[in-house]
Amino acid sequence: MLTLGIDIGTSGIRAVAIDAAGTVQGWGRARIGAEERRDAMAIWRGVGEALAVLRPLIDMAAVRAIAVDGTSGTLIVTDAAGRPTGPATLYIDQATAASVARIAEMAPRDSAAHGKTSPLARLLDHAVPGSGQRALHEADWVTHLLGGPLGVSDANNALKTGYDPVAGAWPGWIGRLGLAVALPRVVEPGTVLGPISPSIAARFGFNPATWLVAGTTDGCASFLATGADQPGDGVTALGSTLTLKLVSDRPVFAPDYGVYSHRLAGHFLPGGASSAGAAVLARYFTPEQISAISRGIDPGQDSGLDYYPLPAPGERFPNNDATLEPRLGPRPVDDTLFLHGLLEGLARIEALGYRRLAALGAPRLRRVLTVGGGAVNPVWTALRARVIGVDVTAAAQTEAAYGSALLARRQSRDATKPSRL
């Protein structure tokens, strides 16, 4: 038995098949240009290309279930029949100030629908009254084209569109916006939606009884891919910024810190993002220099430096201070000591981030899995373990498509007779 995950990423489509043990059996990939990313049909063509690459590598008829993830906040507005009515609006697109302000007036402070890039605000901008339009997230739309029911989404993709994951419903305040577009029915990620369409099964060689399950966002899928699954499991993304997520048995919402909670696999995923991160390291060192200089650092020793490596003034998490200044001095003559101080400063921010989540109601951290470029630096890993005080390891898997395949595998173990919603 195989399960398949499809990731609609920022620059391409990835499809991966895994077996019952979680071993990868094959990958299919297709690139998408920046402008094509707004073309819904280009996204669908990319899915077809990725599946065509994967087909000769595996037995497609052995695929039992499929899940799709997409970028959080990317919307495709369709007509009543599911045909796109215009370009997709991306997760980075900003809404008008008027729509953002209207949501700010109506939504509770802990709603994830706030902000300049709010999907809900973009719907207020672009929906046409009386047109019968539907709002779909890109993962919803691709799942529909594979055979899933039209107008169904998952709780993770719907979160930033205003869905309440605790109540398990669209909140009443959205109805007072006068939104001229139909919002999707929302189910939990991994919910069995029904069998794949016969035409798609014939086109790619799937078994007609292959199930489609509700997907998730690319960020949540990447989290699943790491294997974090118990309360207290943390995942740190060491990218240009420092992003933390934690498995919790209860939701945490703290808008002042930019913290909100996805609901996934029976748990909640509160998290936050610091402005600090590897972007600051890149100002002073190349990746090759960081790797070479790190070897001269003793991770068990304190540098004696007190850095807070922000790229510019202002921080929201784990400190909420719009005027917080970077602390990057004094700079020692010795590059090894300077890098030691920078890595240690980032580790302290990471440790404070997990303590902040715990203070806000999340469980105490028990281990950290790491993704991103910094995950491969053993000295930084050891230094972080010392500062944070728990075991820190690199995640074996980080690809969102792999996480979606795991989501499909989890549900395929329990489902028996697939039926359409």
Q: What is the mean pLDDT of residues 404-408?
A: 97
**Do the domains spanning 2-220+400-412 and 230-394 agree at the CATH topology level?**
yes
Alpha carbon distance 380, 285 (integer Å): 15
pLDDT of 49 higher than 80: yes
**Is residue 76 a contact partner of residue 88, using CB atoms and an 8 Å limit?**
yes
Predicted confidence (pLDDT) per residue in 295-346, tens digit: 999 999 999 999 999 999 999 999 999 999 999 999 999 999 999 999 999 9
The fraction of the chain above a pLDDT of 90, given in percent, is 88
Residues 6+ apart with CB under 8 A from 337: 303, 305
Structure-block tokens of residue 75: 């919307």
Predicted confidence (pLDDT) per residue in 68-118, tens digit: 999 999 999 999 999 999 999 998 899 999 999 999 999 999 999 999 999
> How sure is the predictor about 215, in pLDDT bands with cuts at 50, 70 and 90?
very high
Q: How many helices and strands, by DSSP H and E, does the chain display?
A: 13, 16
Alpha carbon distance 17, 404 (integer Å): 10
When computed from its CA atoms, the radius of gyration of the chain, rounded to whole angstroms, is: 22
Domain 230-394 matching CATH 2.30.40.10: the answer reads: no
Q: Where does 161-319 have alpha helices with state H?
A: 172-175, 198-204, 218-226, 278-284, 287-294
∠ Cα 351 357 362 (to 5°): 125
Cis amide bond preceding 378, omega within 30: no
Per-residue confidence (pLDDT) for residue 419, from 0 to 100: 38
Predicted confidence (pLDDT) per residue in 12-45, tens digit: 999 999 999 999 999 999 999 888 999 999 999 9
Instruction: Kindly provide the b/e burial profile for residues 223-245, where b requires at least 16 CB atoms within 10 angstroms of the residue's own CB.
Output: bbbbbbeeebbbbbbbebbbbbb
Predicted confidence (pLDDT) per residue in 150-167, tens digit: 999 999 999 999 999 999
Structure-block tokens of residue 174: 């959205």
**Domain 2-220+400-412: which CATH number of 3.40.50.11540, 3.40.630.10, 3.30.420.40, 3.30.2020.30:** 3.30.420.40
Alpha carbon distance 245, 220 (integer Å): 9
Domain ranges of the chain: 2-220+400-412, 230-394
pTM: 0.88
> How sure is the predictor about 239, in pLDDT bands with cuts at 50, 70 and 90?
confident
Residues 6+ apart with CB under 8 A from 135: 75, 77, 123, 127, 161, 181, 182, 183, 184
Per-residue confidence (pLDDT) for residue 414, from 0 to 100: 55
With 0-12 CB in 10 A as exposed, 13-18 as middle and 19+ as buried, what is 358? Answer: middle
Per-residue confidence (pLDDT) for residue 182, from 0 to 100: 94
Per-residue confidence (pLDDT) for residue 416, from 0 to 100: 45
